[in-house]
Amino acid sequence: MKKLINSLNSGLNGELLIPGDKSISHRSIMLGSIANGETTIKNFLMSDDCISTINAFKDMGVEIEQNENNIIVHGVGFHGLKKPNKDLDMGNSGTSTRLMMGLLAGQNFDSNLIGDNSLSKRPMKRISTPLEQMGAQIKLNENTLPAIIHGKSLNEIDYTLPIASAQVKSAIILAAIQAKNKSTIKEPIKTRNHTELMLNTFSPNTIITEENTITINPVTQLIGQNINVPGDISSAAFFLVAGAITKNSNITLKNIGINQTRTGILKVLNLMGANYTLLNQNLDGEPTADINIKSSSLKPINLTEQDIPMMIDELPLVGLLAACANGVSKITGAKELRFKETDRIKTLVQEFKKLGISITELEDGFIIDGSKNWNPTDLLLDSHGDHRIGMTMAIAALLIKDSTTLKDSESINISYPTFFNDLNKLIKTS
Ligand code: S3P
């Protein structure tokens, strides 16, 4: 589908309730499914990726009721999943695939995970290698899906992650809770900790975190919970950036998750001199706040490897901020971007060049000179089938004098099906 995006005449103004967090939504279905009793989930993200997770658990015999963004999962207990009678289709979702590989490795049945073209190119050995050390039996097509998992009883592991990845960490955690003895994982750099926080509500004291070391105790049962999913900061980020880079804007985003392992984009906005405020903070469980942002003048920024995990999904937007700053920004240590839904270094460079943004591709990042004027030469932009590249380019397009067209805009349904509606709300009220 092609989407026409008009230039923004005045600013973006108003309030938005951002849809639920994708990472937390996936985990709520997974843990709810293997818990005893009901798990109710409010503000669930009803997007294509999360629907892949729901469907996979339905295929394993879990009853999941849905009423708009509210869900009831009728948990089948820690050993209650049933062998699926077809391949489990993960669609585009790396999180569903990788976390479920960990969970399924310890079940007493076999399963086969498949995915779409993009997912079928993404690396999976990073998951099967530690799981095999735990005694799992997983057959990949070299490094990629399909993954045939022969469920087995698992041993504990003491593992140092070779890359900073919450998906790898979470896969190991979901395997380790099924192991005979306690396991430990060491992270080179801290990554999002939603699995750890949620597991400790379903089964207290399962996870103990000390600095960068996570200890996982085996579990015998999880108890169903009531979960309220905060707004996704990775979705809010599109409007935080839109508010900062457009003139005459004043936007408030309500009930956004501000877990410290996710707030890299706020750190960047702060360092670049953006004008934002946190309001109504609630620090219980997964912390939340409303965030107000106004038009800002931006300074350039330098980011290195240590900064990356807490803003991994927001880096295309950091590129857009850099393209609006008054100097040269350099982002390095971000090679992981090459293994996302697309090679996001390559696709971002390609799309930014169409708009005449001064960007240089690096092996592990990019350099952007925001002091140079944008000189658009090609107004047919492309999401490349990648939701976050699509939304980043839709926000960039607001600054272009002429209308632009975004190709494959439906990929945005992966994480933010109401993105264009929400954008229009902010335009209409201005
Ligand atoms: C996610 C972890 C991140 C992130 C992805 C969601 C998660 O991936 O990019 O969108 O929910 O655990 P990596 O952990 O592989 O970097």
| CATH fold of 2-20+230-428 | UDP-n-acetylglucosamine1-carboxyvinyl-transferase; Chain (3.65.10)
Cβ 192 under 6 angstroms from ligand 1: yes
Ligand 1 atom at minimal distance to the Cα of residue 336 = 16
Cβ 178 under 6 angstroms from ligand 1: no
Q: Which pLDDT value is given to residue 86?
A: 98
Cβ 96 under 6 angstroms from ligand 1: no
Bridge-based pairing of strands 3-5 and 404-407 is antiparallel
Smallest CA separation from ligand 1 atom 9, residue: 313
Helix 22-33 and helix 94-105, axial crossing angle in degrees, nearest 10: 30
Residue 178 has pLDDT above 60, yes or no: yes
Cβ 418 under 6 angstroms from ligand 1: no
The alpha carbon of 167 and the centre of ligand 1 are apart by a number of angstroms equal to 5
Average pLDDT over residues 257-286: 97
CA distance 358 to 247: 21
Average pLDDT over residues 302-309: 98
Residue 429 has pLDDT above 60, yes or no: no
Cβ 336 under 6 angstroms from ligand 1: yes
Q: In sequence order, which residues have a C-beta less than 8 Å from that of residue 38 and are 6 or more positions away?
A: 72, 73, 74, 75, 224
Q: Which pLDDT value is given to residue 327?
A: 98
Position 290 confidence tier, pLDDT thresholds 50, 70, 90: very high
Average pLDDT over residues 175-187: 98
Q: In sequence order, which residues have a C-beta less than 8 Å from that of residue 121 and are 6 or more positions away?
A: 144
The alpha carbon of 119 and the centre of ligand 1 are apart by a number of angstroms equal to 13
Average pLDDT over residues 49-62: 98
Q: Which pLDDT value is given to residue 372?
A: 98
Q: Which pLDDT value is given to residue 366?
A: 99
pLDDT averaged over the chain?
A: 98
Q: In sequence order, which residues have a C-beta less than 8 Å from that of residue 154 and are 6 or more positions away?
A: 105, 106, 131, 134, 135, 136, 175, 176, 178, 179, 180
The alpha carbon of 70 and the centre of ligand 1 are apart by a number of angstroms equal to 24
Average pLDDT over residues 372-393: 98
pTM for this structure? Answer: 0.98
- Could you tell me which CATH class the domain 22-228 is placed in? alpha beta
The alpha carbon of 340 and the centre of ligand 1 are apart by a number of angstroms equal to 9
Residue 335 has pLDDT above 80, yes or no: yes
Mutate to test the pocket of ligand 1, among 119, 192, 335 (most ligand atoms within 8 A of CB): 192
Task: Please report the DSSP string for 183-224 in residue order.
Answer: EEEE-SS----HHHHHHHHHSTTSEEEETTEEEE---S--B-
**At residue 296, what is the residue type?**
S
Cβ 165 under 6 angstroms from ligand 1: yes
CA distance 378 to 209: 49
> Quick count: other Cβ atoms within 10 Å of Cβ 417?
16
Residue 113 has pLDDT above 60, yes or no: yes
The alpha carbon of 30 and the centre of ligand 1 are apart by a number of angstroms equal to 16
* Digit-coded pLDDT (tens) for 236-247: 999 999 999 999
Average pLDDT over residues 166-192: 98
Position 428 confidence tier, pLDDT thresholds 50, 70, 90: low
Give percent of the chain above pLDDT 90.
98
Rg (CA), the chain: 21
Average pLDDT over residues 123-151: 98
Query: What's the sign of the alpha-carbon dihedral 278, 304, 144, 159?
Result: negative
Q: Which pLDDT value is given to residue 357?
A: 98
Bridge-based pairing of strands 288-294 and 250-257 is antiparallel
Farthest-apart Cα atoms in the chain, separation: 62
Q: Which pLDDT value is given to residue 388?
A: 99
Q: Which pLDDT value is given to residue 38?
A: 98
Average pLDDT over residues 125-138: 98
Give the catalytic positions in this structure. Answer: 313
347: three-class secondary structure by DSSP:
helix
Exposure of 264 in the CB half-sphere (CA atoms within 13 A):
23
CB 321 within 8 A of CB 268: yes
Ligand 1 atom at minimal distance to the Cα of residue 313 = 9
The alpha carbon of 374 and the centre of ligand 1 are apart by a number of angstroms equal to 32
* Cα dihedral 259, 260, 261, 267 in deg (nearest 10): 120
User: What pairs with residue 329 in β-bridges?
Assistant: 368
Helix 344-354 and helix 315-323, axial crossing angle in degrees, nearest 10: 30
Cβ 93 under 6 angstroms from ligand 1: no
Position 104 confidence tier, pLDDT thresholds 50, 70, 90: very high
The alpha carbon of 166 and the centre of ligand 1 are apart by a number of angstroms equal to 6
Ligand 1 atom at minimal distance to the Cα of residue 169 = 14
| Residue 129, φ and ψ in degrees, nearest 5 | -60, -55
Same fold, 2-20+230-428 and 22-228: yes
- Domain residue spans in the chain? 2-20+230-428, 22-228
Residue 430 has pLDDT above 80, yes or no: no
CB 395 within 8 A of CB 236: no
Cβ 126 under 6 angstroms from ligand 1: no
Smallest CA separation from ligand 1 atom 10, residue: 313
Cβ 122 under 6 angstroms from ligand 1: no
